[in-house]
Amino acid sequence: MKGLSKKEVEIISNLEFNQKYFFTASDIDSFCKNKMQRYNTIKSLLNKKRIVKLNRAKYYLIPIKAKSGSWSEHPFIIADESMDGKDYFIGGWAAANYWCLTEQIAMQFDVYTTRRQGRITVLNTRIKFHRTTKKRLKDAVSKTIEQHNFMILKKEKSKKWLKLRN
């Protein structure tokens, strides 16, 4: 892990003090003179692995107490934050395991959304995005984990999904 500059420590400690682990670039505007300096600061923190990019505008802060630079966050929270809390639900093995329908631990987290598709790996969590319709989004229910809301496939729909796999 590379050393942090005075400005980077100031930014990280301020975000951590305010418990703003998920943040946007505009949250650090007060520490930078202009957009170019903000861009360079974010790029530097990404290279030093002190922040992780979740989507176009959102980042995750690795706390200072993570000495080696490795940190973990609940995958459901990462999925929710990367989707900005809307137009998605978590399905597949992760949903089946959440509803205690299986003891199979999910190796990847399937996120069904209307906005994107593909795969990303964030903080050692593999997330696969599947395209779905707005109609299927109604098959989701809101739940809370670690004081954070997320959307997950309803239990009945998860049972149906699991039956198709067996």
Does 89 fall in a domain? Answer: yes
> The domain containing residue 30 runs over which residues?
6-61
pLDDT in tens, 80-92: 988 988 999 999 9
pLDDT of residue 156: 95
Same domain, 85 and 160: yes
The tally of domains found in the chain comes to: 2
Same domain, 55 and 11: yes
pLDDT in tens, 16-69: 899 898 999 899 888 889 999 999 999 999 998 888 898 888 999 887 766 655
Q: Cα–Cα distance between 110 and 95 in angstroms, integer?
A: 9
pLDDT in tens, 83-125: 988 999 999 999 999 999 999 888 999 999 998 888 988 878 8
Q: Cα–Cα distance between 9 and 48 in angstroms, integer?
A: 12
pLDDT of residue 1: 44
| Per-chain mean pLDDT for the chain | 89
**Closest C-alpha to 136, from 159, 118, 154, 110:** 154
Does 68 fall in a domain? Answer: no
In this prediction, residue 71 has a pLDDT band, given cuts at 50, 70 and 90, of: low
